[in-house]
Each structure stands twice: as C-alpha cells, then as structure tokens.
Chain A
C-alpha cells in the first residue's frame, strides 16, 4: 500500500510524529513568507511581542516610559538621545511607546479571547440546534450588530466609567456578536458533512459532536477573523482612550498619548506623529497577517 512506502524501517512512532510536527511548522513558515507582505507583517508582530516582553530593557528611559516626569527636557525634537522626541513633561516618547506596546497587545489579545469565549459556545449551539435556540441567540446578536461596535463600546464604557478594564469589557460586549455569526455559519456548513452523521450513527453524543468534531473544523476561519480583528480592537481601544473613556494618565497607552499630544500638535509635531504611526503600522500588520493566514490555513491555496 502506498502509505507504507514512506515509512523507514528504523523509524519509531515517536520519530514519525516529531518529523511530521517539524515538517508542518516548516511548511507553515514557508507559506507565510511566500507572500512578502505577510512575511513582513509577521516579522513586525514578532518585534512587537518581543518589545512588549522586554520593554524595560529596550526602552532607553524605562522610568519615563512608566510615567516619571523630567521637566528639564520638555519638547525636545527627535534626536539620537530621544528617538521620537520628548513630551510636555519631558518624557522620552520612544520609551512611552515601547511601554505602550504591552498595554496594547494585552488589551487586543484579552479582548479577542474573551469575545471568543462568549461567542464560540453560543455560535455552536445556535448553528447546531437551529430552531428556537438559533432564533433567540441570533436576535440578540442582531441587536448588537445593528450599531457600529465603536458606538456600543463608547456607550458601555461611559456607563461603567473610564478605565482600562472597563474599556476591555466594553469592546468585548461590542465584539462577540460578530464572532457568533462567523461560528454559526461555519457550524451550519460543517454539521451537514457526512462525518457528523457518521458520528451520530456510531453513538457519539451531541456535546462531543459539537465541541470535538465540529469546532476543530470551524477554527481556521476564526483564527483568520481574530487576527484581522486584533488591529480593529487595538484601534477601538486607542479610540476609547483618545476620547477619555479608556486608559487614564499616566498610562502609556498609544491612543491616550495621541490624545494628549493633540494640544501641542502645532509646536511639537513629533509628539502625536510617532505614536500615531505606531498604531498605523501595528493595525496594518495585524490586518495583513490575517489575510496571509487565510492563504496559509486554506489547504486549497497551499498547492498553488
């Protein structure tokens, strides 16, 4: 049989598994870097993650990054000492942005994970059972979907009071219905596939069919959607901070920095420009990688 031809005599099962694992990792990266934009955005995101983890060592002035003022050095333009210049309290803007990476990435990840935690069970129940369950869940999502997510987030955040945690909760509330819809559509498609019926015939319970047979088959579109949304969530968080409903000073949140910088835009162009550019590049990277992942995770595009 053809499948046995691949097997080398001395290869143990463990070795086969290891080889397969390495192989799939290699293929994953090969596909990722085949598209230059995707490769570049992957590298950028990797840099961001490293920056977030090692912020105190990367930032040239860690104390200022955390918020310590240095009035002697107010509004210095970009130079080799202060890559992005300094702000109205004499803090190094580059250090602030580096520390902001932590906040932004944590917010984005946390929001997406929480939104998925709500959306996955609801979406699966809705798509699998259909009927009244589906009606109820989908009408609830309809209510949320009829407003722009940012608007819902603003309303929720202003109800709960401005803080970073509340901003996360607000964004989660605005975001989960979108995922529920994506999952529901996927589940409805997957549940018609013969293996679901076959599982029923060999006595698999509904719960097991939903969560261990259907869910893994819906996960690829979710990963794509989630990675593209990282940018959107980040932007929403920054927007909330910008209008004063998110992070509060002296948190080095990107949106908040841009918001403060607004006042000084005529005298200190660098103050708003660099944090703004950082937001732009980060959001763009997440969007591009989402697009790239779509290609990587879809087996049909692999062969080409």
Chain B
C-alpha cells in the first residue's frame, strides 16, 4: 500500500514503526507506511508538536534516545537499509558523509568557544584528513560562499555570538554540507529566526537544491512555510501520515479533514477580526493510540468505521494520497479552508505555534 511514490527515491521509508519504552507503558511514536524522498526534491513534513517530526529525523540519523526503538520497517538510502547499520557504521560512514542535519536553534548548535573558521576546519578535517591547511581554508571559503555569506574572510574570524541569527544558520548549513552530504534534514531550522531572515534561509535551501542537486527533508510546524519551499508535503499527525502529495495539490485541494482544519486555523489577512477556528480536543495519547483513524476523536466527519479501523491511503489524484474514508466529502462550513489557501502559499510570515 504505497503512501507516495516518486520516480527515483533517494530515501525510501517503508512500514516504519517506532516506539518508546516509558514507565507508563509503550508509546507509539511513529507508524508510517511509506514515505519517499526523490533525488533533488524538497519534501515538507508538517505537523504539530508531538506529531513525531523530530523522531522521524532522529530515526533516519540513527540518533534515537536510548528508550526509543524501531520495532520494524526499513529506511533505504540508495539501496542500503540504514536501520541495519551498526552504530559505528552510522557514525563513520553515514552521518555527515551521506546524510546531514541542521537544527532549530543555530546559536545553541554552534560551539561557542570556536571561530567560524575553526568550526568549519574541524568538520572538513574530519572528513578529509588528507587536506593540508591551505586546502582546508580554501574549502571553508568555498562553503561560506556557497551559503552566500557576505564577506566570508571576515566572517571566518568571528565567534558564533558575534553573528546574527541568519548568519549563524548559514554557517550551520555550511558546516553540514562541507562534509559532502547531499541529503539534508532541516528540523525546524527557520523557527528561531525572524521573518525576513527566514525568507533568506528558505531561498538558500531552494538555491542549494538547484546548485548541488540537494535533497531536503524540510520539517516544520508551519504549513505555510513548507508550502513555499517544498515540492511535496506530508502531513504528520500522531505519528501517522494522513496526507501526502504535491504541494499545490495538498494546499489547494486538501482532502483529509485534519489538513483542512489545520489550514483553516491559520491566521490570514483576509480573516482579520474574525475568531480563528480551532480544532477541538487534543491529539491522541501516544500510550493509547486509537485503533482507527488517529484524528477520529476530533474529526467533524468521523463515523463508526473511522473509529473501528485505520483508513488505508487512497490515491485521490496522481501522487496525492490521503488516509481517510471520507475524503470525498466536504467539511461543515466552520472548517472550510477554501479561499484561505491562495494567499497562504505566498505568506511565509505566518509563524504558527502549536
């Protein structure tokens, strides 16, 4: 039962179940049937806090916390199953070399005691032990130019605290890419930045895709942001993919009631003065995931069958998959997202905080 398909997937996540051992019992964190990332594609993963976005990223990187384990499934990177790799192989051959990651808070992600030059040189030496000093320097300069930092010579001598938020994030991206990895996982990388800087970083990610043929998993809690950079977007809820498809499809014609409610609850200029519709209830407890659709309890369309069994993914349009029994029906007026979508796609300043 394919959830989504792309022509040449660089990363193929199949039947993935991730659980966590807690004192209260076993928590289900992720349950993804199929998710693929095409080469040179930016795939958005959107969901609220606790939907499993970061766990997905850490599963791919092989850096799960000790109480979290993968029950079954496979994550195939160019034909190799990452979940079958030893921790040693992940650290020496995969992380950094093939797959790399950037984080939410660029200040905290940069070691404060080193200058930009030392930070970059450290990563470059780690991956190219044969480089001499001149080559390391040249490579560092090249990386800073790649992420479009003005005045790379001067920036090199600075410490992270002397840089602005946007510059820090650029340095972090430069570090992440200087190892030669061509698959980038961006975990809420623009969240701590203000709007204009955010736009700059998004532009950079888009440019890097063209320049380096970089494939990116763009994790965000902001659907508007994701729609502005990604080719495809997946909606994650309670560890499950409810809807995945080309951005234009999902934004213009969302078929899952959750996606529609999610979009409708975003503030847009047209709805100034009106109260924002909220999604009633709360997401299901990871310790007691419902048998049926995870959104069942909050869904205005939910029927008995939705609560009884998990809806399979249906291909409603080419490449657009929805896991809902009632994808053809319309929501009650209060939930309709209809006209809100057009301005959304060009409105990256809406920073939604779940």
Q: Give the total number of A-B pairs whose CB atoms are below 8 A apart.
A: 95
Contact check, A195 vs B109: say whether CB atoms are below 8 A apart. yes
Known A13-B157, A194-B103, A195-B111: A203·B167 in contact at CB below 8 Å: no
CB < 8 Å: which of B94, B110, B126, B155 contacts A205? B126
Known A3-B163, A204-B122, A208-B122: A198·B172 in contact at CB below 8 Å: yes
Residue B69 CB within 8 A of the other chain: no
Contact check, B108 vs A3: say whether CB atoms are below 8 A apart. no
| Chain A residues closer than 8 Å to B150, beta-carbon distance | 1, 4
Residue in B closest to A11 when the chains form the complex, CB atoms: B154
Contact check, B111 vs A200: say whether CB atoms are below 8 A apart. no
| Chain A residues closer than 8 Å to B91, beta-carbon distance | 200, 203, 205-206
CB < 8 Å: which of A193, A203, A212 contacts B97? A203
Chain A interface residue count: which class? 20 to 34
CA distance A84 to B100 in the complex (A): 69
Chain B interface residue count: which class? 35 or more
| Chain A residues closer than 8 Å to B92, beta-carbon distance | 203, 205
| Chain A residues closer than 8 Å to B317, beta-carbon distance | none
Q: How far is the CB of A207 from the nearest CB of chain B, in Å?
A: 10
CB < 8 Å: which of B97, B123, B158, B175 contacts A3? B158
Q: How far is the CB of B145 from the nearest CB of chain A, in Å?
A: 15
Residue B63 CB within 8 A of the other chain: yes
Residue in B closest to A131 when the chains form the complex, CB atoms: B66
**A3, A193, A195, A203: most-surrounded residue (chain B CB, <10 A):** A203
Contact check, A195 vs B96: say whether CB atoms are below 8 A apart. no
Residue B105 CB within 8 A of the other chain: yes
Q: How far is the CB of A79 from the nearest CB of chain B, in Å?
A: 54
Residue in A closest to B180 when the chains form the complex, CB atoms: A203
Residue in B closest to A130 when the chains form the complex, CB atoms: B66
Contact check, B122 vs A3: say whether CB atoms are below 8 A apart. no
Interface string of B139-158 (1 = CB under 8 A from A): 00000000000110111111
Contact check, B111 vs A20: say whether CB atoms are below 8 A apart. no
| Chain B residues closer than 8 Å to A203, beta-carbon distance | 91-92, 94-97, 100, 123, 126-127, 179, 181
Q: How far is the CB of A183 from the nearest CB of chain B, in Å?
A: 16
Residue A36 CB within 8 A of the other chain: no
Q: How far is the CB of A193 from the nearest CB of chain B, in Å?
A: 6
Residue B202 CB within 8 A of the other chain: no
CA distance A201 to B91 in the complex (A): 8
| Chain A residues closer than 8 Å to B250, beta-carbon distance | none
Interface string of A1-30 (1 = CB under 8 A from B): 111100100000100110010000000000
Contact check, B96 vs A204: say whether CB atoms are below 8 A apart. yes
Q: How far is the CB of A270 from the nearest CB of chain B, in Å?
A: 50
Contact check, B151 vs A201: say whether CB atoms are below 8 A apart. no
Q: Can you name 19 A-B pairs with beta carbons within 8 Å?
A: A3-B162, A3-B164, A7-B151, A13-B154, A13-B157, A16-B154, A194-B103, A194-B108, A198-B172, A201-B61, A202-B96, A202-B101, A203-B100, A203-B123, A203-B126, A204-B122, A216-B111, A216-B113, A217-B111
